[in-house]
């Protein structure tokens, strides 16, 4: 308790009606957590960080020149904030360039389409590709099509993404984007287009990663906007034979090195134990990466900075990890898990912010069953911020999702993502989509989470088996 006088000087608002000795270290930690929330909510730090990233760097596709700019920006920003340690760790990433993307309906009624290449797609032949489309409600319907039934056709997966606070609509349709090309090629298709995985009705196509498989012909893959998908449906009602042309200039150019950028607030008594809060530094190339994931970068960085600025240190080390190349397949997260394998047993808990800047309404956990109630109790301090207790089935966010299988507890600080998929992976992912107050609430909750976890006495392991 030797830091108490200093703590009280720094905190000020602690009610001194009880005798000093009545404060347990838990009480103190709770009070500090309350102060952190006040600080975070009255500070523009989080917003300033995402403003800086979107203005001074902007689009930062992993493996691009701008990705290097982003890494330099992150190092400089974290250093200027005075973290105890700032460093980067290499991550091998593919180099892919979007190039041009054009599409149009050739018949029955010629009209241009708004289209974007899916990430990782090969190009079409230089003169483009023209073929009749065959429409499917879902990826599964495409997978159920007869072999050869799509010879010389372009497959069209037309699944609509539903709007939900927790974003579960995305989970229901995104596999059409990632696995559609393989499924279509297996049936003989020469290309695939999908209805954008997005909840908007803007004339913007949503990009995102897709995959090929060895042994299956690689075919060009693109997304069209929701209104364009509607247009094709309107034509299909009139005429089964809808012919489109597609021209993609995308190219894959080997690999390069990107970096996970890491900053730490060094712990006091348990400096070797780690509370990891992460976000991903890379973004898609058509927006400025504000909600995905500039917001997350800002949230975890500002949260850690507010703790850094406290008069006392957290017991455990708080590690901010800004992951490389999440969009290209969680590459930074996977590399981190591999390179830090020996240290993972020292990871007390991990969480990632990667769902925009909507307010956090719930914290889900993946901790020992015996720890679930205690951590819920510990985080009751976030209740005034509108944060409810959640389940014990969290995945923790994409870049930490591989950690529970390696024994590391995680938490998911669940954000209201009702409009997240309106903008996700489109040119529309820009700073104006971020509500500064909601962002500050996120910073507040992450600061509380990191602080409380860094000082928690609860044993979070072993994790319950996955259901």
Q: Annotated binding residue at 264?
A: no
Helix axes of 436-454 and 295-308: crossing angle, nearest 10 degrees? 50
- Of 31 and 424, which CB lies nearer to Zn ion in the complex structure? 424
Judged by CB under 8 A, the chain residues 278 through 317 that form the site for its own copies are 287-288
Using a 10 angstrom Cβ sphere, with 0-12 exposed, 13-18 middle and 19 or more buried, the burial of residue 24 is exposed
- Of 264 and 354, which CB lies nearer to Zn ion in the complex structure? 354
- 399 belongs to the binding site for Zn ion (CB under 5 A): no
Number of residues this chain uses to bind Zn ion (CB under 5 A): 3
Q: Please state, in angstroms and rounded to a whole number, the distance separating the CA atoms of residues 146 and 128.
A: 26
Element containing residue 344 per DSSP (H, E): none
- 71 belongs to the binding site for its own copies (CB under 8 A): no
- CA dihedral 362→367→373→376, nearest 10 degrees, is -30
Q: Annotated binding residue at 326?
A: yes
Query: CA nearest 130: which of 220, 38, 212?
Result: 220
Partner whose binding site includes residue 292, from its own copies, Zn ion, none (CB under 5 to 8 Å by kind): Zn ion
Of 134-142, 244-252, 291-299, 308-316, the window that binds Zn ion (rule: CB under 5 A) is: 291-299
Tokens at 208, concatenated: 């995102």
Q: Please state, in angstroms and rounded to a whole number, the distance separating the CA atoms of residues 255 and 202.
A: 34
- 427 belongs to the binding site for its own copies (CB under 8 A): yes
Among 89, 230, 309, 419, binds its own copies (CB under 8 A): 230
- Of 26 and 51, which CB lies nearer to its own copies in the complex structure? 51
Strand partners, 191: 154
Min separation Cβ 326 and Zn ion, Å:
5
Among 293, 315, 352, 364, binds Zn ion (CB under 5 A): 293
Using a 10 angstrom Cβ sphere, with 0-12 exposed, 13-18 middle and 19 or more buried, the burial of residue 212 is middle
Judged by CB under 8 A, the chain residues 91 through 130 that form the site for its own copies are 109, 111-112, 114
Name the one residue in this structure whose structure tokens are 């209740």.
383
Min separation Cβ 55 and its own copies, Å:
4
Coil/strand/helix, residue 350: strand
Backbone angles phi, psi at 299, to 5 degrees: -65, -50
Partner whose binding site includes residue 31, from Zn ion, its own copies, none (CB under 5 to 8 Å by kind): none
Residue ranges that bind its own copies, judged by CB under 8 A? 51, 54-59, 109, 111-112, 114, 201-204, 226-227, 230-231, 234-235, 238, 287-288, 426-428, 430-433
Known binding positions for Zn(2+): 280, 292, 326-327, 354, 425
């Amino acid at each position: 308790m030797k830091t108490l006088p200093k703590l009280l000087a720094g905190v000020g608002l602690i009610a001194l009606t009880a005798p000093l000795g009545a404060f347990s270290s838990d009480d103190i930690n709770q009070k500090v957590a309350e102060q952190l929330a006040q600080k975070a909510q009255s500070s523009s730090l989080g917003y300033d960080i995402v403003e800086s990233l979107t203005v001074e760097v902007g689009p930062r596709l992993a493996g691009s020149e701008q990705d290097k700019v982003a890494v330099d920006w992150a190092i400089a920003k974290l250093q200027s904030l005075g973290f105890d340690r700032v460093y980067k760790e290499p991550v091998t990433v593919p180099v892919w360039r979007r190039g041009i993307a054009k599409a149009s309906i050739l018949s029955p009624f010629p009209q241009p389409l708004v289209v974007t290449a899916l990430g990782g797609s090969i190009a079409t032949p230089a003169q483009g590709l023209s073929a009749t489309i065959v429409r499917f409600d879902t990826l599964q319907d495409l997978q159920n099509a007869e072999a050869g039934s799509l010879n010389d056709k372009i497959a069209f997966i037309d699944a609509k993404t539903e709007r939900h606070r927790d974003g579960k609509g995305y989970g229901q349709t995104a596999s059409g984007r990632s696995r559609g090309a393989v499924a279509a090629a297996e049936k003989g298709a020469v290309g695939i287009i999908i209805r954008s995985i997005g909840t908007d009705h803007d004339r913007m196509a949503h990009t995102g990663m897709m995959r090929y498989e060895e042994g299956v012909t690689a075919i060009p893959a693109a997304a069209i906007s929701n209104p364009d998908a509607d247009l094709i449906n309107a034509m299909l009602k009139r005429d089964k034979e809808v012919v489109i042309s597609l021209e993609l200039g995308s190219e894959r150019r080997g690999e390069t090195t990107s970096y996970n950028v890491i900053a730490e607030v060094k712990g006091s008594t348990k400096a070797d134990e780690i509370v990891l809060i992460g976000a991903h530094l890379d973004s898609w190339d058509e927006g400025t990466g504000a909600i995905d994931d500039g917001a997350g970068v800002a949230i975890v960085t500002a949260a850690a900075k507010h703790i850094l600025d406290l008069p006392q240190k957290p017991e455990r080390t708080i590690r901010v990890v800004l992951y490389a190349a999440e969009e290209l397949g969680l590459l930074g997260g996977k590399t981190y898990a591999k390179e830090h394998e020996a240290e993972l047993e020292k990871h007390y808990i991990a969480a990632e912010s990667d769902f925009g800047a909507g307010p956090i309404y719930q914290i889900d956990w993946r901790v020992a069953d015996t720890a679930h109630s205690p951590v819920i109790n510990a985080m009751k301090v976030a209740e005034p911020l509108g944060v409810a207790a959640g389940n014990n089935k969290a995945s923790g966010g994409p870049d930490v999702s591989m950690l529970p299988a390696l024994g590391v507890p995680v938490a998911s600080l669940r954000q209201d993502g009702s409009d997240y998929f309106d903008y996700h992976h489109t040119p529309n992912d820009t700073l104006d989509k971020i509500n500064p107050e909601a962002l500050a609430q996120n910073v507040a909750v992450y600061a509380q989470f990191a602080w409380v976890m860094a000082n928690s006495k609860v044993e979070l392991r072993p994790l319950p088996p996955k259901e």
